[in-house]
Amino acid sequence: MKPIQVNEELIGGCEFFATGEYGEELVDLFKFDQRRVLLGEGAAYHLGDECTRLKARRVFLVRDPAVAEFETTIRWTLEREGAELVGVYDEVVPNPTVASVDRFAARIAETDCDAVVALGGGSTMDTVKVGLAVATEGGSAADYFGFDQFAASPRWPLIAMPTTAGTGAEASRVAVVVAEEGKQAVYSDHIQPRVAIVDPLLTSDLPPVLTAITGLDALGHALECTASKKSGAVGDAVAREALRSGMPHIAAAVEGGRKNPEARYEMSRCSLLAGMLLSPINTGAAHALGYGIEKISHALGKPVPHGTAVALVLPGVIRHNAPVSGDKYYYAAGVAGLDLGGGSREAGVELMAEWIDTFRRRYTPFGSLTAAGLGEEEIPRMVEIGMGVRRLLDPNPVEVTAEDAAAIYRQVLQ
């Protein structure tokens, strides 16, 4: 078993950081002076220690309804350090809405506690991240869409413990809430968890299809962050580390479950590193166009999960970005173990695009737009939605026009 890694130790072994030259830049980029990020098997048992460090004696737990079995572990590790679990909230809904976040905010506002633990997937994390801030400042989650709308940090420090390996929400300043007009993003340093405890053992029972869908999300984060105009040398090095962990291990994590703890560990590391990049860098065109798929499929009553929505268009975006970011995708193809055979950069890019497409078709029910219940007639509206997400399109390394977007969707129609 590997030792628990904290903050800068997460990129131990990465040659780029071996000299220590970029240490200060790394700390500044990920604000390690303001938070703690723990990774490793058994990290969950350090929850009590982290609460002690935060001087939190009364702890409130928010958990996904599907992970009730972990509540005993949470309670035990808290009591071992003299802390008390004073309440549990399990009314988190998938793809949290304004109403569901506001319900949680009302509940926590009347709770006597010193810290909050969020245990679950991205929906749990986003509910708590935004809900705590709303409970502190008042109003509704709908009042805070966009960038830096919260004036101060919540009254309660947040400890995030993911049970999936994909969203990276435990380590980012980003949350997504569903409003009447569709998914809306909230960006704020004040919603970034004070502590992230990433224990791969918490993901061991994740079903294969969810392992694939969330894993594709993590790879999408890493691939888009490495290609982004906003990615500098340090961000790119971390994104490559995420790809080095994720690309060779995602299939084994899907197929092996508990039988392959190494793959689970590496996917948790991939998700965490890529998630940390969402705050200083963020994603690009695949996530923007993925929103079009998510919104239209939701309206039709056949919602496509976020990870697969991104993965549907990611191969087309990779091909579109190749003239500028081909070396980034060539690297990803290499760490995926694909046979580059000394071929051209263009050939390596195509191998990478095909790999994503093949993996999605093999391990998820969303092989194509048609398989997801979307046809040619939906493309104009999806283009309109995707082209409206300028916060993600503008940092994309190659400009995406409406005609480009339509062509990317059509690549995956069948």
177 and 248 share a domain?
no
What's the Rg (C-alpha) of the chain? 20
Number of compact structural domains in the chain? 2
371 and 347 share a domain?
yes
Q: For residue 5, give the H/E element and its range.
A: strand 5-6
Residue 34 is which amino acid? Q
Distance between CA atoms of residues 321 and 243, nearest Å = 18
226 and 199 share a domain?
no
Full DSSP string of 333-373: HHHTT---TT--HHHHHHHHHHHHHHHHHHHSS-SSTTTTT
233 and 121 share a domain?
no
User: In 3D, which of 122, 58, 63 has the Cα closest to residue 88?
Assistant: 63
pLDDT at 133: 98
pLDDT at 342: 81
| Crossing angle of the two packed helices 402-411 and 285-299, in degrees rounded to 10 | 70
Q: Are 241 and 5 in contact (CB under 8 A)?
A: no
Of all residues in the chain, the percent with pLDDT exceeding 70 is 100
The residues, any chain, with a CB within 8 Å of residue 12's CB and separated by 6 or more, are 5
Retrieve residue 195's tokens: 């502590």
20 and 108 share a domain?
yes
Retrieve residue 187's tokens: 């960006």
Retrieve residue 356's tokens: 């994503």
224 and 285 share a domain?
yes
Give bridge partners of residue 44 from the DSSP assignment: none
196 and 216 share a domain?
no
Q: Are 345 and 330 in contact (CB under 8 A)?
A: yes
User: Measured in whole angstroms, how far is the alpha carbon of residue 413 from the centre of its chain?
Assistant: 26
pLDDT tens by residue, 271-312? 999 999 999 999 999 999 999 999 999 889 999 999 999 999
Distance between CA atoms of residues 151 and 83, nearest Å = 30
238 and 136 share a domain?
no
Domain containing residue 75: 5-203
260 and 379 share a domain?
yes
User: Measured in whole angstroms, how far is the alpha carbon of residue 178 from the centre of its chain?
Assistant: 17
Of all residues in the chain, the percent with pLDDT exceeding 90 is 89
Distance between CA atoms of residues 414 and 411, nearest Å = 8
pLDDT at 85: 96
CA end-to-end span of the chain, whole Å?
A: 44
CATH of the domain at 157: 3.40.50.1970
The HSE-up count of residue 68 (CA atoms within 13 Å, CB side) is 5
Residue 234 is which amino acid? V
Domain-ending residue, one of 203, 236, 270: 203
pLDDT at 331: 96
Structure confidence at residue 12 as a pLDDT band (50, 70, 90): confident
221 and 186 share a domain?
no
pLDDT tens by residue, 144-192? 999 999 999 999 999 999 999 999 999 999 999 998 877 888 999 999 9
Give me the residue label for tokens 């705050």.
279
Distance between CA atoms of residues 375 and 393, nearest Å = 23
Retrieve residue 360's tokens: 């999605």
Q: Are 282 and 392 in contact (CB under 8 A)?
A: yes
Distance between CA atoms of residues 219 and 183, nearest Å = 21
Distance between CA atoms of residues 357 and 359, nearest Å = 6
Q: Are 148 and 188 in contact (CB under 8 A)?
A: yes
pLDDT tens by residue, 184-220? 889 999 999 999 999 999 999 999 999 999 999 999 9
CATH of the domain at 226: 1.20.1090.10
The whole-chain average pLDDT of the chain stands at 95
Q: Are 253 and 211 in contact (CB under 8 A)?
A: yes
**Phi and psi at residue 29, to the nearest 5°:** -60, -40
Distance between CA atoms of residues 109 and 105, nearest Å = 6
120 and 217 share a domain?
no
Domain-ending residue, one of 165, 184, 203: 203
The HSE-up count of residue 265 (CA atoms within 13 Å, CB side) is 16
Q: Are 135 and 105 in contact (CB under 8 A)?
A: yes
Higher-scoring residue by pLDDT: 115, 15 = 115
176 and 279 share a domain?
no
Domain-ending residue, one of 153, 173, 203: 203
